[in-house]
A and B are shown apart, each in its own frame.
Chain A
Amino acid sequence: MPTLEAVGLSRRYGPRSAVEGLSFVAEQGDIVGLLGPNGAGKTTTIRLLTTILRPSAGSFTVAGIPDREPARIRARIGVLPESAGYPARQSGTAYLRYAARLFGRSRSESAMAAQRLLKEVGLGDRAGALISTYSRGMKQRLGIARALINDPTVVFLDEPTLGLDPAGQREILNTVALIAGERGATVVLSTHTLAEVEQVCSSLLILDRGRLRAAGTVSEVKAAVGAESLNDAFLSLTEGSDR
């Protein structure tokens, strides 16, 4: 059974279509790259699949749970939203403990989970520090730790490397690979950086103006367009879009 399946998923804002007829399937351990120019519908797609937005048409399932049961879906997913904000006056530990308790963990379990995840993302030595003192990269890693607090089946990461230096980007991508490889979770990775997709994604979806332009592995997409590089394939599929 696929861990993530969308069928004809659409989202309209009045006459404007943000996502139109999106269908795809992802299996356990897949890292699905969600690519597209600005305004292509990447964030809307993630917000639909994470139950923040309701679809105008179509349906989806997460770990076999249909979209009509949003609370159950939210219990099985982890999300790093685009431009996530963090409570400046909380410490990393307190932030994760609260998140864990919202997912139903007891106080002691929450404390243990927070400690373990902060170590996993390399923030063990700054666990007690206020989030306001964290760098952007540290905040992104904290966000990823929060996305893993409920041992999710599917993890959605919306531009997790945005604004990070190359070392920070590499750390995040290593973590993404571990989430899929060691935890066996399905990862949906929205990004603008094609090199990231080639490096870690097992398959990709290219969106443009809300429509799915291509889907498959990197080599399948390149072959379908007849391009030598993913960059050429991407530009060929999205040329003429409003960026």
Chain B
Amino acid sequence: MKLDDTRTPGSRWLVVAEQESRDLWIGGRGPLLVFAYSLLLSAMTYLAATNRAMNFLEQREAVNLTVQVALSVGVLLTLVVSADAISGERERGTFEALLLTPVSRRGIVGGKLVAATTLWLACLVVAIPYLWVLGRGVAATGQAAVLALCVGTLVALGLAGLGLLISALTNSNKTSLVVSLLLLLVLFAPTQIPALPRTGFGELLVRINPIGSALHYVSQVLVGRRTWTHDLSYLVAPAVLAVLVCALLIVIGPRIVKLTAGVGSE
């Protein structure tokens, strides 16, 4: 039986993406992570709905809060999965077999990136019923879902790529996860300071932080009722991160996707 020469090595990233997604969702960590995420979302939605009934939280604010939690936790889970993608395989001893195939290093990275991003998409799908419950009557559900899809996917792509870079550059899976989570903490912590965007320095901090600026943009559209294009400049940071990380993976991917991490290991 001859090999199929019509399938170019470039298209084999799809095979990697398909298998990685299968490993994540069938018998992998995907369902458990999404279940835990849905429990959190249920608790948040319950609290938001209760507060709204007490007039503490306007209906659009409740929708915004749910989108913010979905986006924050969704990208966190995506980062965790991508941070394990290469260093984890190295530790489990399965990476060498993948490197020994004709699939290019860029193809391996691309497949793993797509698979990690499916976790964010699953988180988004899970969030939609909650948005529907909270957004009934103010026609905010559709807008919130599309907003979460566009902004969240941008942030998830950037962070998944960052997780892959960290994973490729670290030999230990534990180190990769710790570095990734610390990075996320650094990015996420400023978003919890409510008055931050109101000062000049605070505004700068929000704008350069891909998570902070994305969350700010979402709240401007959902709660501030701004048009989608009005505060588009807030999406510069997440867009730059996504483009930069993907470009880095394409350019340096062949040099960092190897059996062991570190200088001189190639």
Bound Cα distance A106, B5 (Å): 10
Pairwise interchain contact A151-B9, C-beta atoms closer than 8 A: no
Q: Does A134 contact B (CB under 8 A)?
A: no
How far does the Cβ of A149 sit from chain B's closest Cβ, in whole Å? 9
Bound Cα distance A206, B19 (Å): 40
How far does the Cβ of A147 sit from chain B's closest Cβ, in whole Å? 9
Chain B hits for A14, CB < 8 A: 264
Chain A hits for B104, CB < 8 A: 71
Pairwise interchain contact B96-A52, C-beta atoms closer than 8 A: yes
Measured CB to CB, the nearest residue on chain B to A85 is B93
Bound Cα distance A153, B102 (Å): 14
- A residues 74-106 touching B (CB-CB < 8 Å): 74-75, 77, 79, 81, 83-87, 89-90, 98-99, 101-106
Q: Does B36 contact A (CB under 8 A)?
A: no
How far does the Cβ of A236 sit from chain B's closest Cβ, in whole Å? 34
Chain A hits for B99, CB < 8 A: 52
User: A71-B102, A84-B97 known; A102 and B15 CB under 8 Å?
Assistant: yes
Pairwise interchain contact A105-B3, C-beta atoms closer than 8 A: yes
Q: Does A209 contact B (CB under 8 A)?
A: no
Q: Does B193 contact A (CB under 8 A)?
A: no
Chain A hits for B26, CB < 8 A: 89
How far does the Cβ of B257 sit from chain A's closest Cβ, in whole Å? 11
Bound Cα distance A75, B104 (Å): 11
- B residues 129-155 touching A (CB-CB < 8 Å): none
User: A71-B9, A71-B102, A74-B101 known; A89 and B4 CB under 8 Å?
Assistant: no
Chain A hits for B7, CB < 8 A: 104, 106
Measured CB to CB, the nearest residue on chain A to B28 is A89
User: Which secondary structure characterizes the binding site on chain B?
Assistant: loop
Chain A hits for B259, CB < 8 A: 47, 52-53
Chain B hits for A195, CB < 8 A: none
Bound Cα distance A81, B5 (Å): 26
Interface size of A by CB at 8 A reads: 35
Pairwise interchain contact B103-A102, C-beta atoms closer than 8 A: yes
Pairwise interchain contact A109-B102, C-beta atoms closer than 8 A: no
Measured CB to CB, the nearest residue on chain A to B4 is A104
User: A87-B23, A104-B12, A105-B3 known; A50 and B94 CB under 8 Å?
Assistant: no
B-contact bits for A42-78, CB 8 A (1 contact / 0 none): 0000010010111000000000000000011011010
Pairwise interchain contact B4-A74, C-beta atoms closer than 8 A: no
Most buried by A among B1, B3, B12, B266: B3
How far does the Cβ of B84 sit from chain A's closest Cβ, in whole Å? 14
A-contact bits for B91-129, CB 8 A (1 contact / 0 none): 011101111111110000000000000000000000000
Partner of A50, one of B5, B100, B102, B266: B100
How far does the Cβ of A84 sit from chain B's closest Cβ, in whole Å? 6
Bound Cα distance A47, B15 (Å): 24
Q: Does A180 contact B (CB under 8 A)?
A: no
Pairwise interchain contact B1-A85, C-beta atoms closer than 8 A: no
User: A89-B27, A146-B97 known; A98 and B19 CB under 8 Å?
Assistant: yes
Pairwise interchain contact B1-A72, C-beta atoms closer than 8 A: no
Chain B hits for A50, CB < 8 A: 100
Most buried by A among B1, B5, B26, B28: B1
Top 9 nearest A-B pairs (CB, nearest first) are A85-B93, A102-B101, A75-B102, A89-B27, A85-B94, A104-B7, A81-B96, A101-B15, A104-B4
Interface pairs (12), CB distance under 8 Å: A52-B259, A74-B100, A74-B102, A77-B100, A81-B96, A81-B100, A84-B94, A85-B97, A90-B23, A101-B19, A102-B103, A104-B5
